[in-house]
């Protein structure tokens, strides 16, 4: 059985990395802001063991070290478009 769960993204202020615990093998559907909080919606197997996955939030215009280990997830806006961020999963 599968379910769709949402997870808040709370990045470390130093590197922008958000560590999220979720069931192994989960499939990220989208990233969006809800109530000005970045969140990911994920298809999960609730019975699977929990793993930690790492996501990096990058602001538009911010420089960062793009690597093949960065998989683009999506783009979202906060505060009615005042801030635009791009989410990458760090594989």
pLDDT digits (tens, 9 = 90+) for 2-60: 999 999 999 998 888 999 999 999 999 999 999 999 999 999 999 999 999 999 999 99
Q: What pLDDT score does 89 carry? A: 96
- Identify which of 63, 85, 82 has the alpha carbon closest to the alpha carbon of residue 73: 85
Structure tokens at 21: 């615990």
Residue ranges with strand state E in the chain: 3-8, 17-23, 27-34, 37-44, 50-59, 70-78, 83-90
Residues 6+ positions from 43 with CB-CB distance below 8 Å? 2, 3, 4, 26, 27, 29
With H, G, I as helix, E, B as strand and everything else as coil, classify residue 40: strand
Q: What pLDDT score does 14 carry? A: 86
Q: What pLDDT score does 20 carry? A: 98
On whether the pTM is more than 0.75, the answer is: yes
Q: Given a cut of 90, is residue 64 above it in pLDDT?
A: no
């Amino acid at each position: 059985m599968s379910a769709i769960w949402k997870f808040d993204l709370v990045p470390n202020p130093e590197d922008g990395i958000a560590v999220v615990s979720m069931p192994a093998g989960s499939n990220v559907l989208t990233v969006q802001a809800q109530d000005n909080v970045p969140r990911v919606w994920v298809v999960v197997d609730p019975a699977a063991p929990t793993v930690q996955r790492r996501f990096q939030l990058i602001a538009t215009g911010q420089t960062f070290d793009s690597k093949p280990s960065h998989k683009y997830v999506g783009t979202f806006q906060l505060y009615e478009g005042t801030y635009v961020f791009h989410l990458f999963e760090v594989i």
